[in-house]
A and B are shown apart, each in its own frame.
Chain A
Amino acid sequence: MHTETGNKAVVGGLIVVLLLAGVAVSAPLLAPGDPGRQNLVLNLIKPCWEYPFGTDELGRCIFSRVVYGTRVSLTIGVVVTAISGLIGVFTGLIAGYFGGLLDEILMRTVDVLLAFPGLVLALVLAGLLGPGLPNVILALALVGWMGYARVVRGAVMAVKVKEFVAGVRALGAGDWYILVRHILPNVLAPVIVMATLGIGHVILNAAALSFLGLGVQPPTPEWGAMLNGGRSYLRTAPHLTVFPGLAIMVTVLGFNFLGDGLRDVLDPRSQAKIPD
């Protein structure tokens, strides 16, 4: 029964995520206009047939901007998660497997970094690096890897004492061979779940940075930056903020459903076992 609800969440989340990916890829086909084209005569128009989401203060088509924004947000989400996932998995693997002083140093570093709230750390980094897409990605990646490191280290410690690891060591396998071929595949399941949930989280943080003016800069169509731009028109023209806000919400929810569902599906404990 448990698995069934997990399956539904996976399917629901997967559909949302695939739709978003489709939108990102086919943005030029879906968007009725150029997301950057200004038309000051037609500014702050309410949603209508020609402009489904209306226009912003500079007369740009909000629908087109939201559609193109999918590209930006998904790129940030995926790239940041990939980078922090790689750093975290690598760190967790060597800390958990080799142990000793190396483990001590790496894990204390993780502890220190985790003592700061992630967004604050990202703010500081983004402030130091300056705004712009590559810098946002770098800042978010550098604050996001510690969770992966911790989870992977714990999983490695559990796997490395299993008899099959001692067995391949007796066969003559070296440390790196064991790490890559035997430990890594057995610790990936929680990482996949974490990364899926992490993409939503990163997109939210990226939007927050942009909203605060430290992230992706105008005129790039980014949802957080659009929220920022629409802030002054919250009362007079709420569609400036409602649609990018909805886009963020749907995206984050989609990834969260997918991640939570994957956790249920990938967790062997969720499978009902026949007593033996």
Chain B
Amino acid sequence: MFTAGIFKRQSFKVLDGVSLHISPGETLGLVGGSGCGKSTLARVILGLVPASSGRVVFKGRELPAGGNRRRDQGWEKMQIIFQHPEASLNPRLKIRDSLAEPLRIHRLVTDREEEAAVIAGLLETVGLSREHLSRYPHELSGGQIQRVVLARILALRPACIIADEPTSMLDVSVQAQVLRLLKDIQARYGLACLFISHDLAVVRWMSDRIAVMSQGRIVETGLAAQIIKNPGHPYTAALVREEEFF
């Protein structure tokens, strides 16, 4: 669905000749160590950070140079979930207002009543209840916040979600809840997903294909099961060994 290219900052290459593609409905797992450039890649793909060269093509349309997203070009069909729940929502907005944002920005509803109905539907999809609406982000747990973020994204009926370590800050039992929810929703809406994580076990569970990233480069791509069974690159092999260590 898209490809991305070289990204440079202050003559320091964070990403180096990265090429990826994701088909509709597919999950591509992107695994790599801390500081390998995976989060930067997520931001480049979304046009939040400009790449110094290369292109990102989404649904046949090229991301405008300089990272300028325009509201009317269908880019809202690609959305992101971040790593740190405590920074993912505006701390001064109630959950209701955070959820209503995409509806208001894109004028998807005509009045308050319709807005409330849409929000109620979104809440149900992600397994939250009405009582959460009047709370502030700091009154919610990390898992609940990630659900809110997911609900908000779904309002725009996205075609692709970039999940940047969405559960690395969560407890294992909550991680399982959130990942299962993400997978359910993906199946239900036919969403493609770029799932970024440093946890190979999690990536294996989520993904159809896996891309392994090291020092700004993609060192290996392939079907999830095959890569883990038969790692082709030394870095991948090291990752697989670590997973077996514990």
Chain A contact residues, CB within 8 Å of chain B: 162-164, 166-174, 177, 181-182, 185-186
Contact = CB atoms under 8 A, between A and B. Distances in A.
B72 to A, nearest CB: 9
Contact of B101 (A163, A168, A185): A168
Contacts of B236: none
B106 A162 contact: no
Interface in B156-196: 156
A171 B43 contact: no
B83 A170 contact: no
Query: Most chain-A Cβ atoms within 10 A of its Cβ — which of B83, B105, B149, B156?
Result: B105
Q: Which of A171, A173, A177 has the most CB of B within 10 A?
A: A171
Interface in B60-114: 69, 71, 75-76, 78-80, 82-84, 87-93, 101-102, 105-106
B48 interface: yes
Given A170-B48, A171-B101, A164 B76 contact: no
Contact of A162 (B48, B80, B83, B87): B87
A185 B16 CA distance: 38
Given A177-B105, A185-B92, 9 more contacts: A163-B82, A163-B84, A166-B80, A167-B82, A169-B48, A170-B69, A171-B101, A172-B71, A181-B90
Contacts of A167: 80, 82, 88-89, 149
18 contacts: A162-B87, A164-B88, A166-B43, A166-B46, A166-B82, A167-B80, A170-B48, A170-B78, A171-B79, A171-B101, A171-B153, A171-B156, A172-B71, A172-B76, A172-B102, A177-B105, A182-B90, A186-B92
A186 B90 contact: yes
A43 to B, nearest CB: 57
Nearest to B137: A164
B224 to A, nearest CB: 26
A92 B80 CA distance: 29
B152 interface: yes
A170 B46 contact: yes
Interface of B: 43, 46, 48, 69, 71, 75-76, 78-80, 82-84, 87-93, 101-102, 105-106, 149, 152-153, 156
Contacts of B106: 172
B91 A174 contact: no
A186 B82 CA distance: 20
Given A170-B80, A171-B101, A177-B105, A164 B89 contact: yes
Nearest to B82: A163
Q: Which residue of A164, A170, A173 has the most chain B CB atoms within 10 A of its CB atom?
A: A170
Contacts of A171: 76, 79, 101-102, 105, 152-153, 156
A182 B102 CA distance: 14
A181 B100 CA distance: 13
Nearest to A183: B90
Contact of B69 (A164, A172, A177, A186): A172
Contacts of B80: 166-167, 170
Contact of B75 (A164, A168, A172): A172
Contacts of B82: 163, 166-167
A185 B89 CA distance: 13
Nearest to B49: A166
B169 to A, nearest CB: 11
A237 to B, nearest CB: 54
Given A163-B83, A166-B48, A166-B80, A173 B91 contact: no
A173 B70 CA distance: 9
Contacts of A168: 90, 101, 105
Contacts of B87: 162-164
A162 B46 CA distance: 16
A168 B153 CA distance: 10
